[in-house]
Amino acid sequence: MVQQTTLDMTVRAELMAERIAARAAQPDLREMVLNVWSLIKRDCHVEQVMDEVKATLTRGEPYWDICCVLAAYAELCRPDRYLEIGVRQGRSAAVVAAIHPEVELFLFDMWYPDYAGVPNPGPNFVREQLQAVGHCGQVHFVTGRSQETVPAFFAAESQSRQMQLITVDGDHRDEGAMRDLQNVADHLAPGGMLVFDDITHPKYPTLHQTWKTFLAAHSNWSIRENVRDGTGTAIAIKPG
């Protein structure tokens, strides 16, 4: 009986991972993401990704990235709470907020000045981005180094405040990324989705191995990875 339940949970997680990856790749979902980005202030990086995404639609090519999987999960699962490590100008958080406006957001960033060569203005700017896409849920900003702020946040919270959706897209150094992944893993709700970005980013050639090492301790989670598009994105669904 116990074995059967475990099997059921694993099968459900596998089905969910398949459903999210399939939905993330659909052209109309990409159109939805582009529509969200058309509502926010965009730096040169977002403009460049928009051009790339539009080109995949014109050429009829498959494509999915961090924002596509976030959009798919927000649409299909309507999470109560979303935690994001690495917010920058709010591009990815805005996608979740636009598709599920009531979602409660927990946004962690140290607002590294001029991250990737463009301004990284911080919470007030991101708040405006979220308002621009119609977010009406609560939003909590936690400023500081995530390897310290995330454990402190959860130490101060009750166990019941698990997150259905979590993105780790902050510190891209192996040690920092691993600590972020480990610090959120227990706080992902059963059936929830963890998103890890940039697994094929040429600037971070060992990040994919960091993700694989993390997964070795979570071998029953259902994984999908896209190493074909953009800078590579991975998702993991926790059984439940």
Q: SS3 of 45, please?
A: helix
Cβ-proximal residues to 35 (8 Å cutoff; 6+ apart), any chain:
none
The 3 state secondary structure assigned to 180-204 is: HHHHHHCCEEEEEEEEEECCCCCCC
CB 153 within 8 A of CB 161: no
Binding string to ligand SAM for residues 159 to 198, with x set by CB under 6 A, is what? ----------xxx----x----------------------
In the complex, the smallest distance separating the C-beta of residue 219 from ligand SAM, rounded to whole angstroms, is 27
Among 111, 125, 141, 204, contact with ligand SAM (rule: CB under 6 A): 111
CB-neighbour burial class of residue 75 (10 A; exposed 0-12, middle 13-18, buried 19+): middle
Residue 112 in the binding site for ligand SAM (CB under 6 A): yes
- With CB under 6 A as the contact rule, which of the stretches 15-23, 144-152, 183-191, 211-219 interacts with ligand SAM? 144-152
Among 56, 129, 146, 222, contact with ligand SAM (rule: CB under 6 A): 146
| In 100-190, alpha helices (H) | 123-132, 146-156, 174-185
| Number of residues binding to ligand SAM, judged by CB under 6 A | 20
The tokens of 93 are what? Answer: 């958080």
Restricted to residues 59-98, the positions that interact with ligand SAM (CB under 6 A) are: 66, 86-88, 91-92
- CA of 66: how far to CAs of 10, 186, 200, 206, 230, in Å? 23, 21, 13, 19, 9
Kindly tell me which of 112 and 220 has the beta carbon lying closer to ligand SAM: 112
Among 24, 99, 103, 120, contact with ligand SAM (rule: CB under 6 A): 120
CB-neighbour burial class of residue 232 (10 A; exposed 0-12, middle 13-18, buried 19+): buried
Residue 145 in the binding site for ligand SAM (CB under 6 A): yes
Kindly tell me which of 13 and 103 has the beta carbon lying closer to ligand SAM: 103
Interface residues with ligand SAM (CB under 6 A)?
Answer: 66, 86-88, 91-92, 108-112, 115, 120, 145-147, 169-171, 176
